[in-house]
């Protein structure tokens, strides 16, 4: 018999980079965790430690189809997050965000569960305001190659707030900015993983444009802490709330730091900028600080060291990952 006082938590996209860290954090807090994933970009390898836990259950399911389970809380993270993965099958990406949100919100309404949505800084598009506050409505191209992700996530936010207004559902929406750490996929085309893999292999580091575009990088443990705090916050606080690291660095500075930390002979090469690549992206986290008492703690150098150690193990074969079928043979894209 299960303990009825124990919270049952559903994590969609739980086999992915962020989802697997979230599952571990929730298990450590004594929650019963049901992880749902279709393994589009996630892998069972990411869940190796969670799978040893008696309170953990894994279910293969695609969130674009309805799900009937009994849970108290839902964290909706299912969606490919890197451009190379979400542009591979853009129609499926929009369906995952929109149909996935409809199905998970429907489930939350039926079982009266609190529901979290992993939204993204991409809802701000190529911002004309810096840093971005939550009240900025964004500057998004509705017909570009990134639109499946950006507009899908914007529509999901709309659905969350309409379920709140129409059905009084307890919702929590976080706009997540660039996050990095162990379990990022080496071929996901994100700038941190690209640079680390290239540096560890002694290959040229490809910087797009002049490398002066800025990014801000949040270490995964900080981000997961923010998500959990948001879920625990008062029901009146719905978000959207930015979660990310406001410390900005240029892409060139990042490349140089990674070369130094890897002790790599790699040199930097410059290539043309991809379309719709934002020039600057930086969160204003005043709201998260005030409402959640949250701010990132792990400095970039320290987070990169831990991430490099992970990729080093991965590349030298001490940690084996099995690539998801759908992303095999996808070439490295621009970050």
Which residues lie near ligand NAD (CB under 6 A)? 12-13, 15-19, 37-42, 62-64, 77-81, 85, 96, 100, 118, 120, 176, 178-179
In terms of CB distance, is 17 or 310 closer to ligand NAD?
17
ω into 266 cis (within 30 of 0): no
CB of 91 to ligand NAD, least distance (A): 12
**Closer to ligand NAD by Cβ: residue 24 or 37:** 37
Q: Residue 246: which of 335, 178, 301 has the closest Cα? A: 178
Q: Shortest Cβ distance from residue 198 to ligand NAD (Å)?
A: 19
Contact 250, 212 (CB under 8 A): yes
Q: How far is the CB of 226 from ligand NAD (least distance, A)?
A: 12
CB nearer to ligand NAD: give 204 or 333: 333
Q: Are 179 and 298 in contact (CB under 8 A)?
A: no
* 3-class DSSP state of 23: helix
For residue 185, give the nearest of 173, 194, 176 by alpha carbon.
194
Q: How far is the CB of 72 from ligand NAD (least distance, A)?
A: 20
For the chain, the maximum distance between any two Cα atoms, rounded to a whole number of angstroms, is: 60
> In this complex, which beta carbon is closest to ligand NAD, that of residue 176 or of residue 266?
176
For residue 91, how many C-alpha atoms fall within 13 Å in the half-sphere facing its CB? 0
Length of the chain, in residues: 335
- Tokens found for residue 258: 């990674």
Q: Give min distance, CB of 45 to ligand NAD, in A.
A: 11
Name the CA radius of gyration of the chain, rounded.
19
Residue 124 known to be catalytic: no
Residue 20 or residue 198: which is nearer to ligand NAD going by CB?
20
Q: Which of 132, 266 has the CB closer to ligand NAD? A: 132
Alpha-carbon distance of 279 to 283, in angstroms, equals 14
Give the span between the Cα atoms of 39 and 274, in whole angstroms: 27
Measured between alpha carbons, how far is 76 from 10 in angstroms, rounded to an integer?
A: 8
Minimum distance from residue 3 beta carbon to ligand NAD (Å): 28
DSSP 46: G
User: Which of the residues 40, 149, 180, 310 is marked catalytic?
Assistant: 149
Q: Which residues are catalytic?
A: 149
């Amino acid at each position: 018999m299960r303990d009825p006082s124990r919270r049952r938590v559903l994590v969609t996209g739980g086999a992915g980079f962020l989802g697997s860290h979230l599952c571990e954090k929730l298990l450590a807090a004594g929650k019963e965790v049901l992880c749902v994933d279709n393994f589009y970009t996630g892998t069972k390898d990411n869940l190796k430690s969670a799978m040893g836990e008696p309170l953990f259950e894994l279910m293969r399911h695609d969130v674009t189809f309805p799900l009937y389970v009994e849970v108290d809380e839902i964290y909706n993270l299912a969606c490919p997050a890197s451009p190379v993965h979400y542009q591979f099958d853009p129609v499926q990406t929009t369906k995952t965000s929109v149909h996935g949100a409809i199905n998970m919100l429907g489930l939350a309404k039926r079982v009266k569960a609190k529901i979290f949505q992993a939204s993204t800084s991409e809802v701000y598009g190529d911002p004309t305001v810096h840093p971005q506050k939550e009240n900025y409505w964004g500057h998004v191209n509705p017909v570009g190659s990134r639109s499946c992700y950006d507009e899908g996530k914007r529509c999901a936010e709309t659905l969350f707030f309409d379920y709140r207004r129409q059905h009084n559902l307890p919702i929590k929406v976080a706009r997540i900015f660039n996050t990095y750490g162990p379990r990022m996929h080496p071929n996901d085309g994100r700038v941190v993983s690209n640079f680390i893999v290239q540096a560890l292999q002694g290959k040229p580091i490809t910087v797009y444009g002049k490398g002066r575009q800025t990014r801000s990088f949040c270490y995964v443990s900080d981000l997961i802490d923010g998500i959990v705090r948001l879920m625990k916050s008062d029901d009146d606080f719905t978000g959207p709330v930015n979660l990310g690291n406001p410390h900005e660095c240029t892409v060139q500075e990042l490349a140089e730091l990674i070369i130094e930390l890897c002790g790599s002979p790699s040199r930097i090469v410059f290539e043309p900028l991809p379309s719709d690549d934002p020039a600057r992206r930086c969160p204003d986290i005043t709201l998260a600080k005030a409402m959640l008492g949250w701010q990132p703690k792990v400095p970039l150098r320290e987070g990169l060291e831990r991430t490099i150690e992970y990729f080093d193990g991965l590349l030298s074969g001490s940690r084996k990952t099995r690539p998801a079928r759908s992303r095999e043979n996808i070439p490295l894209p621009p970050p």
